[in-house]
């Protein structure tokens, strides 16, 4: 097998949560470009239709499975649909997450219900996804890739609940990698600021001038925001034979920040 061939995913079947738009969409399409068939999950079926079409245009199979990732029953259904309709499950990408109501908060000003919603979306869903993935991968093994965040390290003033939930994802990833080795590898990819609709909305960015001002404030060494495809490339690496001797790691894709 050549070095480039080790990045191919021919014959693999992936689940991607939060696949309807933004980073999740890019990950799903990237996995299909690498050769995988993909089960797409998002809350809204309408968000998934165009992603299905894009993947099918690449000659790969795709199914849309509306899923609430905070429900174990819904995630079980997602995993079973992937196996029943695509033949197996070998890659699970827990991408769904973010700020449940789009509002960054100070830790000491966070209502209990907002805290619980943040943990359910960003942490509990990742744990439940790994439980379902491990069950369906079984002895054949596979790869779990969790989407963390640059906010998982260091203090995150006014974004504490989010930062704490993502820091826990890194810990969860490391522990799962030990529990599931050697059959299943578990890694995380931690994006820095990626310019998506959700990012602009959560940061209150409406103009190019505002984005440029934030870029200067963040002092990103590579002096630009990331692209969705930057994260998709990292996920392909983590899910492919190219990273066969890598597990328990969190890869920061953050422009050097």
Among candidate residues 28, 159, 162, 172, the one labeled active-site is: 162
Collapsed DSSP state (helix, strand, coil) of residue 105: coil
Ramachandran region, residue 158 (left: φ > 0; alpha: ψ -120 to 50; beta: rest) = left
Q: According to the model, what pLDDT value does residue 45 have?
A: 87
Spatial contact of 32 and 55, defined as CB atoms under 8 Å apart: yes
Q: At what angle do helices 112-119 and 160-180 cross, to 10 degrees?
A: 30
d(CA 58, CA 91): 19
Spatial contact of 45 and 16, defined as CB atoms under 8 Å apart: no
Nearest to 117 by CA among 130, 101, 104: 101
Which tokens in the block code for residue 41? 């999950």
Spatial contact of 255 and 195, defined as CB atoms under 8 Å apart: no
For residue 195, give every residue at least 6 positions away whose Cβ sits within 8 Å of its Cβ, in sequence order, or none.
211, 225, 226, 227
Which CATH fold would you assign to the domain 4-253? Rossmann fold (3.40.50)
d(CA 167, CA 154): 9
Spatial contact of 235 and 189, defined as CB atoms under 8 Å apart: yes
Kindly report the pTM of this predicted structure.
Answer: 0.95
Q: Where are the domains of the chain?
A: 4-253
Sheet bearing 62-66, strands edge to edge = 62-66, 37-42, 13-17, 91-94, 142-147, 184-191, 250-253
Q: What is the DSSP letter of 140?
A: G
**237 noted as active-site residue:** no
Any idea which residue has 């994260």 for tokens? 231
d(CA 99, CA 241): 33
Q: According to the model, what pLDDT value does residue 102 have?
A: 84
Q: Please, what are the averages of pLDDT over each run of 10 residues along the chain (257 residues)?
A: 94 98 97 98 92 98 98 98 98 96 92 97 98 96 98 92 98 98 98 85 82 88 94 98 98 94
């Amino acid at each position: 097998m050549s070095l480039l061939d080790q990045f191919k995913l021919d014959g693999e079947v992936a689940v991607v949560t939060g696949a309807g738009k933004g980073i999740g969409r890019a990950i799903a399409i990237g996995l299909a470009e690498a050769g995988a068939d993909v089960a797409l999950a998002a809350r809204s079926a309408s968000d998934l239709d165009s992603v299905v079409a894009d993947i099918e245009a690449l000659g790969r199979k795709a199914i849309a499975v509306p899923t609430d990732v905070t429900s174990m029953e819904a995630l079980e259904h997602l995993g079973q649909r992937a196996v029943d309709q695509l033949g197996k499950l070998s890659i699970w990408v827990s991408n769904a997450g973010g700020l449940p109501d789009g509002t960054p908060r100070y830790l000491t000003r966070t209502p209990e219900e907002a805290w619980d919603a943040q943990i359910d979306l960003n942490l509990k869903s990742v744990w439940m996804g790994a439980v379902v993935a491990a069950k369906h991968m079984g002895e054949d093994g596979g790869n779990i890739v969790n989407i963390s965040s640059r906010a998982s390290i260091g203090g995150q003033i006014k974004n504490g609940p989010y930062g704490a939930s993502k820091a826990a994802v890194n810990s969860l990833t490391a522990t799962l990698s030990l529990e599931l080795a050697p059959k299943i590898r578990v890694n995380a990819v931690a994006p820095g600021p990626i310019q998506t609709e959700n990012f602009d909305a959560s940061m209150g960015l409406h103009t190019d001038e505002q984005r440029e001002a934030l870029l200067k404030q963040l002092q990103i060494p590579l002096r630009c925001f990331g692209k969705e495809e930057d994260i998709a490339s990292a996920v392909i690496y983590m899910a492919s034979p190219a990273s066969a001797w890598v597990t328990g790691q969190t890869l920061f894709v953050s422009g050097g920040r």
